[in-house]
Amino acid sequence: MDSKFTDSAYSLGEKNTSKNLKIYSVIANIIVTILIAQDIADVIYTIVNRQNYLDECLTIWLNSPSNYTSFEVNDICANSYNITLVTEIVGDLIRAIILIYFATVIASYAVSRKEKEMRNSGNSENNTGNSTENSTENNENVSAEKEKEFVKKLDP
Say if 52 falls within a structural domain.
yes
The CA dihedral of 84, 90, 94, 95, to the nearest 10 degrees, is 40
Across residues 101-124, what is the average pLDDT?
86
Say if 133 falls within a structural domain.
yes
DSSP 8-state code for residue 1:
-
Question: How many whole angstroms separate alpha carbon 147 and alpha carbon 65?
Answer: 86
Say if 5 falls within a structural domain.
no
Tens of pLDDT, residues 116-139:
888 887 766 555 544 444 555 555
Kindly list the distances between the CA atom of residue 40 and the CA atoms of 88, 95, 111, 154, in Å, as whole numbers in the listed order: 10, 12, 30, 65
Ranking 6-15, 104-113, 114-123 by mean pLDDT, the lowest is 6-15
Across residues 78-99, what is the average pLDDT?
96
Q: How confident is the model at residue 149 (pLDDT cuts 50, 70, 90)?
A: low
Say if 4 falls within a structural domain.
no
Quick check: 3 pLDDT over 60?
Answer: no
Quick check: 42 pLDDT over 90?
Answer: yes
Q: Beta-carbon neighbour count of residue 152 at 10 Å?
A: 8
Q: Beta-carbon neighbour count of residue 81 at 10 Å?
A: 18
Range of the domain at 17: 13-154
**Can you list the alpha helix ranges (DSSP code H) found in the chain?**
2-15, 17-48, 50-63, 70-126, 131-154
Say if 54 falls within a structural domain.
yes
Identify the pLDDT of residue 14: 59
Say if 47 falls within a structural domain.
yes
Tens of pLDDT, residues 74-84:
999 999 999 99
Domain count, the chain: 1
Kindly list the distances between the CA atom of residue 60 and the CA atoms of 23, 28, 66, 78, 82, in Å, as whole numbers in the listed order: 51, 42, 11, 14, 18
Say if 97 falls within a structural domain.
yes
Quick check: 150 pLDDT over 70?
Answer: no
Say if 1 falls within a structural domain.
no
